[in-house]
Each structure stands twice: as C-alpha cells, then as structure tokens.
Amino acid sequence: MRFLKKTYVFLIFAFLYAPILVLIVFSFNESKSRANWEGFTLKWYYELFKDRHIMSALYYTLLIAVLSSAIATLIGIIASIGIFHMKKVPQGVVLNLNYIPILNPDIVTGISLMVLFIFMKMNLGFVTMLLAHITFNIPYVILSILPKLKQMNKHLYEAALDLGATPAEAFRKVILPEIMPGVITGFLLAFTLSLDDFVISFFTTGSGVTNLSIVIFGMARRGISPKINALSTLMFVSVLILLIIVNIRMSKDNPERRARIERSKENSRYLPDIGHDI
C-alpha cells in the first residue's frame, strides 16, 4: 500500500514536471529540430537576449505589472475603507460588481474592454493595457484588504481622533498599520496576476506593445523555437528562486505570521485561478 502510494505520487509529479524538464533540457540543444540531441549550446539564450520583441515585451510586462499593481493597490485601499463604511445594501451592490471581473471569463472581460476602448476612440496600446490590468487587479486588492478592516477594532480610529489626531494622521498611524498585511497580499497578488496575464492583454493592446505572454503565443503559433525553451528555463528558475525565498522568509518568521501568510497565499492562489489564469 505504501509502495503504491509512493508510486502514485511519483507518477503525478512526473506528469507535472516532465514536460517542463524536457523544455529545459532542449533549451541547451544545438539542433533546432525537436527530438534529437546534437550537443550542448547556449546560443538560444544569446538569441533570446538579442530578440527585440522579447526584450521590449519583458520591459512592458514588468512596467505594467509594477504600475498596475501599485495603482490598483492605491485605489483599492481607499475604496476598501469606503466600502467598509457603506450601508448594507449599497455595499452589497458594490461588492457584487467587484466580483464581476473575477467571475467573468477572461475572454469576455478582454473583449468587453477592447470594445469599450475602441468605443471611446482610444488607441489600443500601453495605456489601454494598463487600464485593463488595473481593472482586473483592483477587485483582488479589495478582497484582500476588506477582511483586515473587519478584524480591526472599530473604535481605534475614533479614539485617535479624540486624542487629537487629524483624519490623515489617524489613517496613517492607526488604520494603515492594521490593514498592512492585507495591502501587501493584495499588491503581490495583483503583481503576479498582471505578470501572468495573457487573454486580457491580448485583446486590449496594439501598436506593437506586447507582454511576454503575447510574444510566447505569437511564437508558439509559428512553430517550435528553442528560444521559447530558453525563456521557459529562465522563467522556471526565477519562479523557483522566488518560491524558495518566500519560503525561507516564512520559516524565519514567527508562527502566527507564518500561518497568516500561508493563508493569504492559499487564498491568493485560489482567487485568481477561477478566472484569471486562463
């Protein structure tokens, strides 16, 4: 039984990892053709860095991820506080609207935004892609911050005001620290979603502004290219390093915080996956 279990676990992991490993191995293959090993080379990596599309896509991917998650976090913080203090009925309406981008299939979100931008006579490109990313990021930020507001002692803010703090001071010194973990979770979540997005970007960009996912899609549609393998290897390694760092940081932290991050990470993986990975 134990052996059976082990074999099963092994097979599932083999299924999950073998394709990635094959990609990685063949990124070092001299030959362009698929299954034959013809010697070790790094030339595909060299070509990868020479490719103007990939480099500009990398630049836009990072830029949009940083800007959209920062702006979404900012809007999200303010909106969360507002939503938290709303009356029940309007609050329900707003929260339901907030769920739309999460529940809606990506292709519908992407297309509806494309239609909107064209309707508003905007040029599809960097700005529209950024607006689209902010739009699908904010809901996740709000959903990460709201629970923190609920946990907070309601009277802290009033107490601060009574003690002579201005509303701005009270916000900065009382509310913000309390909701900070939610803010960070929301920011990171928005950042990863933006980095990984394909479908929505695909429909809302134009004029040569692309992100990595779009470039990969374009390349994959033109057949097999060892350059994509090289890119996969680099991305896999970065993700691996990132996860290890997060993990080491977590095991250094105190248990309470660790549990909290664990929980938020869990949520963070669950939330996007309904709509936003594909």
Partner 1 sequence: MREVRKTAAIFLTLVMIFSLAACGGGGGSQKSTTSITVFNWGDYIDESVLTDFEKEYGIKVNYDYFSTNEEMYVKLKSGGTDYDVLFPSDYMIARLIKEDMLHKIDMNNIPNFEHIDDKFKNLNYDPNNEYSVPYMWGTVGIAYNTTMVDEPVDSWDILWDPKYENNILMLDSQRDSIAVALKKLGYSLNSRNEAELEQAKQELIRQKPLVLSYVGDEVKDKMVGGEAALAVVFSGEVTAIRWENEDIDYVIPKEGSNLWFDAMVIPKTSQNKEAAEKFINFLTDPEIALRNAEYVGYSIPNTTAIAMLDEEVRNDEVAYPDLDSLDNCEVFEDVSDIIEIYNRIWDEVKAAQ
Partner 2 sequence: MKRQWLASPYIVWMVIFIVVPMLLILFYSITEQTEDGLQLTAEHFRRFIDPIYINVLIRSLALALACTAICLLLGYPMAAILASREYSRKKIMYMLIVLPMWMNFLLRTYAWLTLLERNGVINTVLSILGLPSLDILYTNEAVVLGMVYNFLPFMILPIYSVLSKIDRSVIEAAQDLGGNNITVFRRVVFPLSLPGVISGITMVFMPAVTTFVISRLLGGGQFTLIGNLIEQQFLSSGDWGFGSALSVIMMLMILISMGIMNKYEQENGGGALW
Stretch that binds partner 2, among 43-51, 62-70, 77-85, 183-191 (CB under 8 A): 77-85
Q: With CB cut-offs between 5 and 8 Å by kind, which of partner 2, partner 1, none does residue 199 bind?
A: partner 2
The correct pick among 167, 207, 245, 249 for binding partner 2 (CB under 8 A) is: 167
Stretch that binds partner 1, among 39-47, 124-132, 142-150, 193-201 (CB under 8 A): 124-132
With binding defined as CB under 8 A, does residue 40 bind partner 2? no
Binding mask 188-227 for partner 2 (x = CB under 8 A): ----x---x-xx---x--------xx--xx--xx--x---
The two tokens of residue 106 are: 């990506």
Taking the C-alpha atoms of residue 82 and residue 67, their distance in angstroms, rounded to an integer, is 23
Question: In which element (H, E) is residue 52 found?
Answer: helix 52-84
Roughly how many angstroms between the first and final C-alpha of the chain, as a whole number?
37
Q: What is the DSSP string of 54-66?
A: HHHHHHHHHHHHH
Side-chain half-sphere exposure of 1, counting CA atoms within 13 A: 0
* Window of 103-111, 123-131, 230-238, 265-273 that interacts with partner 1 by CB under 8 A: 123-131
Residues in the interface with partner 2 (CB under 8 A) total 88
Show contacts with partner 1 in window 224-253 (CB under 8 A). 224
Cα 198 to Cα 176: distance, rounded to the nearest angstrom: 33
Residue 48 interacting entry, from partner 2, partner 1, none, C-beta within 5 to 8 Å by type? none
Q: How far is the CB of 59 from partner 2 (least distance, A)?
A: 17
Query: Which segment (21-29, 87-95, 216-224, 266-274) binds partner 1 by CB under 8 A?
Result: 216-224
Question: Does 184 participate in binding partner 1 (rule CB under 8 A)?
Answer: yes
DSSP string of 89-129? HHHHHHHHHHHHHHHS-HHHHHHHHHHHHHHTTPPSSHHHH
Asked whether position 218 contacts partner 1 by CB under 8 A, the answer is: yes
- Map the footprint of partner 2 across residues 55-74, applying CB under 8 A: none
DSSP string, 225-268: -HHHHHHHHHHHHHHHHHHHHHHHHHHHS-HHHHHHHHHHHHHH
> What, of partner 2, partner 1, none, does residue 270 touch, CB below 5 to 8 Å by kind?
partner 2
Q: Does 36 help bind partner 1 (rule: CB under 8 A)?
A: no
What is the C-alpha to C-alpha distance for residues 225 and 32, in angstroms, rounded to an integer?
A: 7
The rounded distance, in Å, linking the Cα atoms of 191 and 196 is 9
Which member of 14, 42, 55, 85 binds partner 2 (CB under 8 A)? 85
C-alpha to C-alpha distance for 236 and 230, rounded to whole angstroms: 10
Coil, helix or strand at residue 156: helix
Task: Decide if residue 261 touches partner 1 (CB under 8 A).
Answer: no
Q: Tokens representing 83?
A: 């939503």
Contact (CB, 8 A) for 278 and 199: yes
Contact range with partner 2 by CB under 8 A, out of 12-20, 50-58, 62-70, 182-190: 12-20
**Binding residues vs partner 1 (CB under 8 A):** 32-34, 51-53, 59-60, 62-63, 66-67, 70, 114, 117-118, 121-126, 128, 177, 180-181, 183-184, 187, 206-210, 218, 221-224
